[in-house]
Amino acid sequence: MKKLTLIRHAKSDWSSGAASDFERPLNRRGNKAATMMAGRILKCGSVPDLLVSSPAQRAAETATLLAQGLELAQEQIIFHRNIYEASLATLIDIIRQLSAPEHIALIGHNPGLSHLGLWLCPQAPEWLPTCAVLELELTVDDWAAVTPGCATLAGYDYPKH
């Protein structure tokens, strides 16, 4: 059985003056939320083996803060360009190409992550708020075997919860 944790990036700073959407950083609330959610994940004992993140600034900062809070090495973060602005089909392809680890966290953006959660598990929330953590248990032994509805909801948390 595989575990997939979907994590939407933390709150970003719209007033940062970033040159593009891709370069928009986290705001103070986002930094605090990412650190807090790492603590909650650590407390429940469901730490991923690998973080696969969008390279967009706000997602990369979220991944880095999560890794620090979860005591993961920098090598346990992989940045995948195609997660940024990904469609459901693209996210499914990314998951199906994953390798060995049993528990992976995918850090990215809406609407793609929310669509993926519902595709995998009909009981998933319709919309993931910023820094939401949706943990799914997949009834597959290989990432390539993911199909619609192959997951059950193992946990769901977000900063204001």
- 61-74 residue pLDDT tens: 999 999 999 999 99
User: What is the domain-level CATH number for residue 35?
Assistant: 3.40.50.1240
pLDDT reported for residue 35: 98
Range of the domain at 62: 2-157
Helix (H, G, I), strand (E, B) or coil at 97: coil
Cα dihedral 65, 47, 122, 59 in deg (nearest 10): 20
Residue 100 clears pLDDT 80, i.e. is over it: no
Residue 116 clears pLDDT 90, i.e. is over it: yes
As for how many domains the chain has, the answer is: 1
What region, left, alpha or beta, does residue 85 occupy, with left being phi > 0 and alpha being psi -120 to 50 degrees? left
Across 132-156, average pLDDT: 97
To the question of pTM greater than 0.95 for the whole model, the response is yes
Across 106-127, average pLDDT: 98
**In which band, very low, low, confident or very high, does the pLDDT at 99 lie, cut at 50, 70 and 90?**
confident
